[in-house]
Structures are given as C-alpha cells and as structure tokens.
C-alpha cells in the first residue's frame, strides 16, 4: 500500500514469493507496470483497492508494508487491524510515514512557514495526521502486533540539486494543483498569496546555505 512502485523493490527481497501492490488511485500503476515489465517481475501483481476494504482472505500474507498511507486516513487503527487479519501467524508488518512536526528549514522565511501551515491544515481537514510518524509504534501495538520497534531518521535536502528539486515541488504544489485549488475553495488563501509562496521557494533555492530536513519514522511488528 502506498505508491505502487515500492513493491518492485520489495519483490526483489523475496523473489520466490508473490508480491501484491495496491493503491486506491489507478493512475499510480502506469510507471509501476512499465518497471515491472522491464525487470521481468512475473511474481508481482497490482490492484486497485480501498485500505478499509482490502479484497483478500484472512491469513493470506507473510508480510505487509505501508508507506505514507496512514497519514492520510481518518481511521488508521482500523486499517491496521484489518491488515492484521490478512497476515498469517508470525508474519511481519512494516510501516513508514513522515512526521512533519520535526521539520527543519534554513534560512527561515515567513512564507515558507505559511506553506507548512497550509499543508498541515489541509491534511488534517481531509482527515489525516501529518504528525502520525511518532505514533506508529503505539498504533501497531493497539492493532495487536507484538515485538514492535520503531526508528526515526531525517530525509535531508542539503545539496544544490536536491534544493532545486524541492523548490520545484513547492512550486507545483502551490501552482495549478488540485491541492492549491482546494485551499482556495476553502477560503484559506488566494492565488496572490500562493504566487508569493512559489516565489519564496525560488528565492530559498537560490540561497547558498539552503537546507531542509523532515523526519520519517519506520516501525516494524509481528503477528503472534
């Protein structure tokens, strides 16, 4: 679950087994299918599925992995309990999600802080939790998993190519995207402010000391 390109690498870790990647958005599969064909991954399958109603029988899988999924769900514990039922005894689950409460950025800019505020607010408005990373160990425990462990690391943008790409991402997000339009429709901002945020990303990318980092938390647990 999550971007369906992830099962391509997962399948390489266990080539004898069958690997299934699912996402609710069908368009996610174009690149994944192309890569699967290129790598001749005959044991890899994709499907469109709702995380709350996964179309698999109980005790089907030996492992599950979710990336950047729970942070966008209103009922993440319900999803994890459902996955617990799909796993066989002794199966493992891994989950990896950001925690944007730990964001670092330099140099500081009030418009980039506004960017962070708007995105955080929108995720919460849509039922998600942009700070779910720190809660993953507890969620897995509450879902019934045992021997749960969690670690955190920072994904950094500290070289010129990465800085440029991050600024371009900020420009796309607050340009003509559906996310930007939803923020405008909700009355939280307007096109003028979003253009100012885009320009702030450009100015930030031109700073020789530009730096950004966000925390990602990964948790692993087992089914008894």
Q: What are the tens digits of pLDDT across the range 11-58?
A: 455 556 677 878 887 766 666 666 666 665 556 777 788 999 999 999
Evaluate whether 80 touches 52 at the Cβ level (below 8 Å).
no
| Main-chain dihedrals φ then ψ at residue 189, nearest 5 degrees | -155, 180
pLDDT of 44 reads 72
Q: How far apart are CA 155 and CA 152, in angstroms?
A: 10
- Determine the CATH number of domain 50-222: 3.40.50
pLDDT of 127 reads 96
Q: How far apart are CA 97 and CA 219, in angstroms?
A: 9
Q: How far apart are CA 196 and CA 203, in angstroms?
A: 10
Domain ranges of the chain: 50-222
pTM: 0.84
SS3 category, 69: coil
- How open is the CA angle 150-95-74, to the nearest 5 degrees? 115
Which residues, listed in sequence order, are joined to residue 162 by a DSSP beta bridge? none
Residues of the chain with pLDDT under 70: 1-17, 27-43
Token pair of 137 as six digits = 């160990």
pLDDT of 6 reads 46
**CA proximity to 8, closest of 28, 24, 27, 25:** 28
């Amino acid at each position: 679950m999550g971007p369906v390109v992830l099962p391509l690498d997962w399948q390489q870790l266990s080539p004898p087994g069958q690997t299934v990647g699912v996402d609710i958005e069908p368009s996610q599969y174009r690149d994944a299918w192309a890569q699967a064909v290129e790598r001749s991954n005959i044991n890899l399958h994709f499907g469109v599925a709702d995380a709350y109603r996964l179309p698999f029988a109980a005790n089907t899988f030996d492992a599950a992995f979710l990336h950047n999924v729970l942070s966008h769900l209103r009922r993440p514990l319900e999803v994890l309990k459902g996955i617990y039922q799909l796993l066989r005894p002794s199966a493992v689950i891994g989950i990896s999600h950001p925690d944007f409460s730990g964001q670092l950025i330099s140099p500081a800019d009030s418009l980039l802080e506004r960017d962070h505020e708007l995105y955080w607010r929108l995720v919460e408005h849509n039922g998600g939790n942009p700070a779910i990373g720190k809660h993953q160990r507890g969620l897995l425990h509450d879902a019934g998993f045992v021997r749960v462990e969690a670690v955190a690391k920072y994904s950094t943008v500290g070289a010129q190519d990465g800085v440029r790409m991050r600024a371009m991402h900020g420009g796309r997000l607050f340009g003509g995207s559906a996310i930007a339009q939803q923020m405008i429709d909700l009355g939280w901002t307007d096109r003028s402010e979003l253009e100012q945020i885009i320009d702030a990303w450009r100015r930030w990318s031109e700073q020789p000391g530009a730096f950004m980092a966000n925390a990602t938390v990964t948790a692993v647990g087992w089914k008894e």
